């Protein structure tokens, strides 16, 4: 008998969900509730995945121009001794080591003057930066570190009205006789321009050969402003930085990881991520409330049937489990359908972006269209599992109340209204 009870409960749950002429409106509400759960789950997955993609792109652009770990001197300039470079290069997880000499300067050309950040780098360090090499829009890196050539942001080039091959002046400062500040002029040729789609880089950053900038600033070959370390795993940066501090034990050095350098920005992204998850979860909650409403109505409609089952010997547990299975089934099926729909949309964001781009292209500028067509999506398995877990919990919680209400119907009262 105990083996037959679950089958009876499943049959009852299915009968409660089946559309009948009398209960058709209730069944329609249950279907709408299931669709609501599915759309809520799909919306959560798609929105959080797209936001995660944009977040990953943004963090990649921040890290792409700097290192996962930045080593600087607490005072003055940093001396790149062989011992220091060897210790940093052989640290666990270090993939690439880059030397950087950075100065603020003025750029003058064609009667225009613009402030800029001049960054001296080696050719191998420049070519290893994917954010630069993949963003080259004009010219090339041939001749860099051989000729007095530079690579600058595209928007800065436009502001100075320069073309590839043009010569311009970089104005820095030096201490003259008696401690007076005097300008220092150096002429360079524009070799290439890049576009990272980040304003602070594209409008102010200039890459200059490290050796030539050291000569212009009257520094020796070992003098730099920072050493940037790129790691195989960016998330391991705090642990690697802590290990370097313990290994070097030098109070004159400052070793900072990218998360510490961008602590406020990363904190804001994390708060935005959590708040968006909570806000969008309300969509699933609203759909779950519809499940409560529809199955509470179903309990009232079926009270005569419940009374007949009770008089035939069916226990209250059987009735409760049947209604619980019916209500929970709506939520679980909606959750499964929503998960499949959300993952399908995330897997086809490129095609969807192109379609939206064709629609947005009518009367819009290139920047707006590019923003739509380049819509990324990064599906985080942990986020998807969290969304599914929240949806299942809300669905089961929504199924509990109607099931509990079914136990409050007495056989006599139920038959009286039949």
Distances in Å between the alpha carbon of 339 and those of 25, 66, 397? 27, 37, 19
Q: Does one domain contain both 211 and 91?
A: yes
The residue from 199, 224, 249 where one domain ends is 224
Per-residue pLDDT at 368: 46
CA dist 326 and 399 (Å) reads 8
Q: How far apart are CA 112 and CA 187, in angstroms?
A: 15
Neighbours of 347 (CB within 10 A): 12
Within 13 Å and on the Cβ side, how many CA atoms surround 177?
Answer: 0
Whether residues 54 and 84 fall in one domain: no
Query: Are the CB atoms for 141 and 193 separated by under 8 Å?
Result: no
Based on the domain organization, do 184 and 108 belong to the same domain? Answer: yes
For residues 296 and 401, membership in a common domain is answered with yes
Domain, as residue range, for 394: 4-60+266-416
Question: For the chain, how many structural domains are there in total?
Answer: 2
Residues of the chain short of pLDDT 70, as ranges, are: 1-27, 29, 175-180, 294-323, 353-375, 401-418
Q: State the Cα–Cα distance between residues 66 and 60, nearest whole angstrom.
A: 10
pLDDT reported for residue 145:
78
Boundary of a domain, candidates 197, 224, 251:
224
User: CA 379, CA 382: separation in Å to the nearest integer?
Assistant: 9
**What is the average pLDDT score of the chain?**
79
Q: Identify the pLDDT of residue 150.
A: 92
pTM of the full predicted structure?
0.66
Please tell me the predicted confidence (pLDDT) of residue 5: 43
Q: Is residue 99 located within the same domain as residue 192?
A: yes
For residue range 32-60, list pLDDT tens digits in order. Answer: 778 888 888 898 888 888 888 887 777 77
Burial code of 309-326, b = ≥16 C-beta within 10 A, e = fewer?
bbeeebeeebbbbbbbbb
Is residue 261 one of the residues assigned to a domain? no
Domain end point (choices 174, 196, 224): 224
**Within this chain, do residues 182 and 99 fall inside the same structural domain, yes or no?**
yes
Helix axes 316-347, 24-64, angle to 10 degrees: 40
Express each pLDDT in 273-318 by its tens digit.
888 888 888 888 887 777 777 666 666 656 555 555 555 555 555 6
Q: Is residue 67, in this structure, part of any structural domain at all?
A: no
Q: Exposed (0-12), middle (13-18) or buried (19+): which is 250, by Cβ within 10 Å?
A: middle
Residues in the chain: 418
Which of 309, 101, 306, 291 is closest to 207 using CA atoms? 101
**Domain assignment of residue 148, yes or no:** yes
Same domain membership, residue 412 and residue 271: yes
Q: Are residues 207 and 343 in the same domain?
A: no
Rounded to whole angstroms, how far apart are CA atoms 307 and 108?
91
Could you tell me if 82 and 55 lie in one domain?
Answer: no
Beta-bridge partners for 97: 229
Count of beta carbons in the 10 Å neighbourhood of residue 84: 17
Is residue 126 located within the same domain as residue 189?
A: yes
Q: Is 350 domain-assigned?
A: yes
Judgement on whether residues 205 and 300 belong to the same structural domain of the protein: no
For residue 63, what are the β-bridge partners?
Answer: none
Closest CA to 27 of 13, 17, 37: 17
Query: What is the tens place of the pLDDT at every residue in 104-123?
Result: 999 999 888 899 999 999 99
Pick the closest to residue 26 from 302, 400, 294, 289 (CA basis). 294
For residues 128 and 216, state if they share a domain.
yes
Cβ neighbors of 370 (< 8 A, separation 6 or more) are 357
């Amino acid at each position: 008998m105990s083996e037959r009870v679950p089958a009876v409960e499943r049959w009852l749950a299915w009968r409660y969900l089946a559309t009948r002429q009398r209960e058709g409106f209730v069944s329609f509400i249950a279907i709408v509730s299931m669709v609501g759960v599915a759309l809520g789950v799909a919306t959560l997955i798609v929105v959080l995945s797209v936001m995660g993609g944009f977040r990953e792109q943004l963090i990649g652009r921040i890290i792409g121009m700097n290192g996962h770990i930045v080593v600087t001197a607490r005072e003055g300039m940093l001396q790149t001794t062989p011992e220091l470079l060897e210790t940093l290069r052989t640290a666990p997880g270090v993939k690439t080591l880059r030397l950087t000499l950075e100065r603020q300067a003025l750029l003058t050309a064609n009667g225009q003057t613009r402030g800029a950040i001049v960054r001296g780098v080696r050719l191998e360090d420049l070519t290893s930066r994917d954010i630069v090499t993949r963003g080259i829009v004009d010219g090339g890196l041939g001749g860099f570190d051989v000729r007095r050539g530079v690579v600058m942001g595209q928007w800065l080039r436009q502001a100075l009205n320069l073309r590839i091959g043009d010569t311009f002046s970089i104005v820095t400062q030096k201490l003259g006789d008696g401690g007076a500040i005097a300008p220092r002029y150096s002429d360079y040729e524009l070799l290439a321009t890049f576009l990272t789609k980040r304003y602070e880089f594209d409008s102010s950053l200039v890459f200059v050969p490290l050796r030539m900038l050291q000569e212009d600033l009257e520094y020796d070959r070992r003098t730099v402003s920072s050493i940037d370390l790129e790691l195989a795993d960016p998330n391991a940066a705090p642990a690697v930085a802590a290990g370097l501090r313990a290994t070097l034990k030098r109070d004159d050095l400052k070793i900072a990881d990218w998360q510490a350098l961008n602590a406020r920005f990363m904190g804001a992204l994390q708060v935005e991520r959590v708040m968006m998850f909570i806000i969008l979860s309300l969509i699933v909650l609203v759909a779950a409330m519809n499940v409560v409403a529809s199955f509470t109505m179903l309990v009232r409609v079926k009270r005569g049937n419940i009374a007949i089952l009770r008089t035939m010997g069916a226990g209250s547990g059987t009735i409760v489990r049947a209604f619980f299975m019916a209500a929970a089934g709506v939520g679980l099926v909606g959750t499964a359908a929503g998960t499949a729909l959300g993952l399908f949309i995330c897997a086809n964001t490129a095609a969807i972006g192109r379609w939206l781009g064709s629609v947005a292209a009518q009367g819009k500028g290139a920047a707006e269209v590019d923003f739509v067509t380049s819509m990324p999506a990064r599906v985080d398995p942990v986020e998807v599992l969290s969304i599914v877990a929240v949806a299942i919990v809300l669905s089961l919680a929504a199924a509990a109340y109607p099931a509990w209400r079914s136990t409050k119907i007495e056989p006599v009262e139920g038959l009286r209204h039949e």
